[in-house]
Amino acid sequence: MQTAFAAGDTATSQVEVKLQPGKTEKPVDPIVPNEDPNEPSGETGNVGLLTIDNVTPFEFGLHDLTEETENFSVITKHPNVQVSDRRGEGQGWALQVGLSAFSDAKEKDKVLKGAELVIPEGQLQTTAGNVSKKPEEFAVKLEADGKSTATLMQADQDSGMGSWADVLNSKEIKLSVPAGNYSGEYSATLSFSLVDAPTK
């Protein structure tokens, strides 16, 4: 049975909230924390409304040279890259990555020739309750020449808001080293840049 209301027995009220871009005084914590004290932290310490928060170093360990091209998997346990967008306007963004040449720790002019790094398409993680559309993640292949760049993650308009981590499978991150290279202790630099709009 429906209840009859007399005139003057109903009313309405407004519910209001104002939202502004997030605070920028402190860095955003990693979604995937580094729980191994033996592994270096990837936290960048960046602050701002659009930030790269975490870039896990890739460690490939010690290997023997052979007569063939070898593909090594990363031994880092939880490699990931994290971006936060606290602008609150949904403009989108793109995370690009490039790879320098691998140079020897003792002889800087000695480099790995023909080396390539493959970063697979990862699995996205975000903070609990995030209602934003997710960004896209991409598999990339980078030549170790300091020239090639690729888009690793991209948020189109109205997506990728909040914090997003591209969590990578260690077994699928591959460093390809051709035969004929010199022995040595090599390192290279992965350079990440964040563009404040989609690029693809």
Over residues 113-159, the pLDDT tens digits come to 999 999 999 999 999 999 999 999 999 999 999 888 999 999 999 99
Residue from 125, 92, 116 nearest 178 by CA: 116
Identify the pLDDT of residue 36: 81
| Position 9 confidence tier, pLDDT thresholds 50, 70, 90 | confident
Task: Look at the block and give the residue holding tokens 């890739």.
Answer: 58
CA 141 to chain centre: 15
CA 97 to chain centre: 9
Identify the pLDDT of residue 198: 79
| Position 40 confidence tier, pLDDT thresholds 50, 70, 90 | confident
| Position 3 confidence tier, pLDDT thresholds 50, 70, 90 | low
Strands (E), the chain: 50-55, 70-73, 80-85, 93-99, 103-104, 116-119, 123-126, 136-137, 140-143, 149-155, 162-167, 174-177, 186-187, 190-195
Helical H runs in 67-165?
Answer: none
Identify the pLDDT of residue 41: 86
Residue 78 scores a pLDDT above 70: yes
Contact 94, 199 (CB under 8 A): yes
pTM of the model: 0.87
Mean pLDDT of the chain: 91
Identify the pLDDT of residue 1: 59
| Position 33 confidence tier, pLDDT thresholds 50, 70, 90 | confident
DSSP string, 57-84: PP--------SS-EEEE---SS-EEEEE
Structure tokens at 168: 């990578």
Structure tokens at 15: 């519910």
